[in-house]
Chain A
């Protein structure tokens, strides 16, 4: 089932195919490839068929559904009533969500069919899916390589045609980096655009749901459906959503694209450097004006992020205590029950971040760490604001390398560095996406691996951002030049 989401919805709405036919084809694809790929932690064959049946009934009743029959991979940190929702953690291995996340519900109401719950780094902490406690996901372009993370399962599923749309969540790059690694469009909307209700929190002030897709057009279609104020999420923004799918462009005339001085690509090696130089030139060829902009705080991104996100996670993950749900390991008293449950339930990266965050919030350290990080965060917003006085969009790499081999980033810091280009936008809450921009041949490998171009826009500039990405994608067609042979 290699049809685009747009084409599937068109056909199902027109009665050319039933949602059930589409679903069966996707489920068959999952059965063929997913044992090797491991994109899904839970396959939802029964639920998918029932949902498809319901979509078909609605179409027969005369409804038009924007996502009619579109198969969707749901990252396993989003609640879907009646399905296992694990966050890739032993802590929630057997937990069945009794309610559905708002963003998921909106897609399903629009006719999408959930086909599986996708693997992820435990509690969305990681950039390779290797931190999942429940399974390994492989990159469809090279099975020896990671799919990226934390939304790696959703990315692998969409890349290997096991879904047309992947739902991801992005805290510091968790949609954009796996999209870059898997030759996809991965879009993180402005913080607050999509409801977080039902998204199991990692870092509340940074988490944002968005789509992964094989084209900008598909991503825009899904975004239009999931965006908008939700009374269940106080941080969701009450501001009209400019439809993006109908505003896509084919040129960049009049668009000023900022190239961040501090994001120079020379250090990434000649091959990658020339790939991004070509990408910027392609933007120029489409009519864009390139301007140099500065982001003086760029080098403080990781430090800022790795205080704020762990601080919030140390508190957000406190609820996994064995009292009400999830794993419980008994102890002689409640204190020891907490200790054993959390010692067994959480993996090393999650524990590391809980420790960092607990420390950063502790009395005597709070001002030096948490407060200072919040001040730095404000500076990111100010820096971007200044930059956007001179440009309409900012272009940069989405990641500093293509997908790496399993276990290649064994020390946490080198893994954290994967998000160097994506974290500043997260700290500022900006909408940003990754769009395929070509391939490089990793050392010692014969398989060309995809790379992603990151484009970012001012707050709430989603429609302009997607419009520009569409122009670049249509003109370059990078994604079509290689197939995910590893999986197929």
Chain B
């Protein structure tokens, strides 16, 4: 029986996080009363003209640089012509043959820690459409609706389209690729990438071919996937469908298919023959973009460490597990916080335990991000140092951390001011041991009768007696001697 492999390319649209819309001064803000963020330009009133948003152009260039794309010297905007009620001009300003970024490679990792890569074809800049609401049909669908309402708040929001080469081989890889895009765009600050708000939308081009073949099969374009999970399910379902078609002696036809979340299958939306002729041509209202080389080099040099590099560093330098490394990398501020702790002298493993453990728990409880809390990375490193040098024990450390979280300050100062330093002076600890032994004759008898597991209790009593300051290891040793 023939074995098939999937060949997948992804196209995704990402809403950029700019102050204003792509071609006018309206705020680029999610939500709001319908048609509150509109003006003559984004409503396409007669006579209004677009002016390109420089911030958006720079963001796309940065996105390209993050993946090592080429930034051509010249770029331009084109009109993509088609009629749609929520597209005010009945053409979309997009980029056809001269995108802002060409090529590049997205490196990503899978859950088992293997790293993969997928080439990018291009990244270009365009504008979003408005949103239609269909009324009078009961179910919000257009089919039996009596009228539609259009909200243009989103019309003209800058939209970055990333197109990949067909380098992806499975649904899992597709999700890994998308996660890499997402964490990279979030980290470089070009987008919030919230699928639930529609700021990331993606289509997948899926085909199959016999394993070992170099040819490309006929592809189907899958649309309407609203989460990474639906991307995964849709691609799995489509691969299975295509294999079944071929296995039954049929041929896959080139078409656009919609993912149905409830049914868990894709269904045909339109065939290649029904494809639009968009009549692209250069937008005469906008001047060509000449990209300043020095500006590109400056942006390149300002590019901070990217998620994949960080992931590999955490894995390689500190030996973190995939989950631990991913968790840090996925919250860039947390990763930066962690890196600052390490720079301040903390050991990697100790720091990550605090950052992803106690600190993250406190952050959850208080709804305050770790990096905005009063625990400065330098203070955490100091706390870790106190534990490492056995100046305090881990219980005191936890208490201290809570106090640092609530009030801040140097743990060293707190330890000194309140005399919390762990006592490793044998004379002092011996005093506490003697007090405990005197107070628990019955327990001593139990111990001597062979119930050695009461040792834990006795050490606990010593700690209590010393208000946590006694070195527990020393206390254990002394107890054992005395009971010997």
Contact = CB atoms under 8 A, between A and B. Distances in A.
Given A338-B83, A362-B279, A234 B287 contact: yes
Contacts of B47: 77-79, 85, 97, 101, 196-201
Nearest to A207: B284
Given A234-B51, A318-B83, A318-B89, A85 B46 contact: yes
Given A231-B51, A232-B51, A319-B90, A362 B40 contact: no
Nearest to B148: A334
Contact residues on A (Cβ < 8 Å of other chain), bracket: 35 or more
A204 interface: yes
Central interface residue in B45, B49, B51, B287, by most chain A CB within 10 Å: B49
A77 B51 CA distance: 21
B278 to A, nearest CB: 8
A350 to B, nearest CB: 14
A203 B283 CA distance: 11
B44 interface: yes
Interface string A217-238: 0000000000000011111000
A430 B125 CA distance: 32
A364 to B, nearest CB: 9
30 contacts: A77-B47, A78-B47, A99-B40, A99-B45, A198-B47, A199-B47, A200-B46, A205-B284, A231-B51, A232-B49, A233-B51, A234-B49, A234-B51, A235-B284, A315-B81, A315-B91, A319-B90, A321-B83, A321-B85, A323-B150, A324-B43, A324-B44, A324-B88, A324-B150, A335-B83, A338-B83, A361-B279, A361-B281, A362-B277, A370-B281
Given A99-B40, A234-B52, A319-B88, A87 B46 contact: yes
Interface string B64-107: 00000000000000010101010011110000000000000000
Closest 6 CB pairs of A and B: A318-B90, A205-B284, A204-B284, A361-B279, A200-B46, A198-B47
Contacts of B148: 334
Contacts of B40: 98-99
Given A315-B281, A323-B85, A324-B88, A197 B49 contact: yes
Nearest to A198: B47
Contact of A319 (B49, B89, B279, B281): B89
A326 to B, nearest CB: 8
A231 to B, nearest CB: 7
Interface string B251-292: 000000000000000000000000001011100111100000
A335 B90 CA distance: 13
B251 to A, nearest CB: 25
Interface residues of B, number: 29
A462 interface: no
B392 to A, nearest CB: 62
A133 to B, nearest CB: 15
B81 A234 contact: no
Interface string A361-377: 11100100010000000
Contacts of B284: 203-205, 235, 312
Nearest to B84: A334
A318 B286 CA distance: 18
A363 B150 contact: no
Contacts of B43: 324
Interface in B425-445: none
B329 to A, nearest CB: 40
Given A318-B81, A321-B90, A334-B148, A235 B44 contact: no
A470 interface: no
Interface in A174-223: 196-201, 203-205
B151 to A, nearest CB: 12
B285 A204 contact: yes
A139 interface: no
Contacts of B323: none
A358 interface: yes
B476 interface: no
A235 B284 CA distance: 8
Nearest to B275: A363
Nearest to A371: B281
Given A92-B46, A235-B287, A363 B279 contact: yes
A95 interface: yes
B279 A358 contact: yes
B480 interface: no
Interface string B20-63: 00000000000000000000100111111111100000000000
Central interface residue in A87, A200, A323, A363, by most chain B CB within 10 Å: A323
A311 interface: yes
Contact of A315 (B48, B277, B279): B279
Nearest to A338: B83
Contacts of A362: 277, 279
Interface in A325-373: 325-326, 334-335, 338, 358, 361-363, 366, 370
B45 A325 contact: yes
Contacts of B287: 234-235
Contacts of A235: 49, 284-287
Nearest to A236: B49
A54 B49 CA distance: 29
A95 B148 CA distance: 22
Interface in B162-206: none
A334 B49 contact: no
Interface string B237-253: 00000000000000000
A234 B22 CA distance: 13
B42 to A, nearest CB: 11
Contacts of A92: 46
A78 B47 CA distance: 7
B55 to A, nearest CB: 15
Contacts of A198: 47-48
Given A234-B286, A234-B287, A319-B89, A196 B49 contact: yes
B51 A319 contact: no
A238 to B, nearest CB: 11
B182 to A, nearest CB: 32
A165 B51 CA distance: 30
Contacts of B44: 319, 324
Interface in A61-117: 77-79, 85, 87, 92, 95, 97-99, 101
Given A201-B47, A318-B91, 5 more contacts: A97-B46, A99-B45, A200-B46, A234-B50, A324-B88
A334 B51 contact: no
A315 B279 CA distance: 9
Contacts of A101: 47
B46 A79 contact: yes
Contacts of A199: 47
A453 to B, nearest CB: 30
A85 B48 CA distance: 13
B81 A361 contact: yes
Central interface residue in A77, A196, A234, A235, by most chain B CB within 10 Å: A234
Nearest to A204: B284
A91 B284 CA distance: 23
Interface string B396-436: 00000000000000000000000000000000000000000
B277 A363 contact: yes
Contacts of A314: 81, 279
A319 B46 contact: yes
Contacts of A325: 45-46
Nearest to B43: A324
A233 B83 CA distance: 25
A358 B277 CA distance: 10
Contacts of B90: 318-319, 321
A200 B280 CA distance: 21
B143 to A, nearest CB: 11
Contact of B85 (A87, A196, A334): A334
Contacts of A87: 46
B49 A233 contact: yes
A77 B47 CA distance: 8
Nearest to A203: B284
A309 to B, nearest CB: 11
Nearest to B278: A363
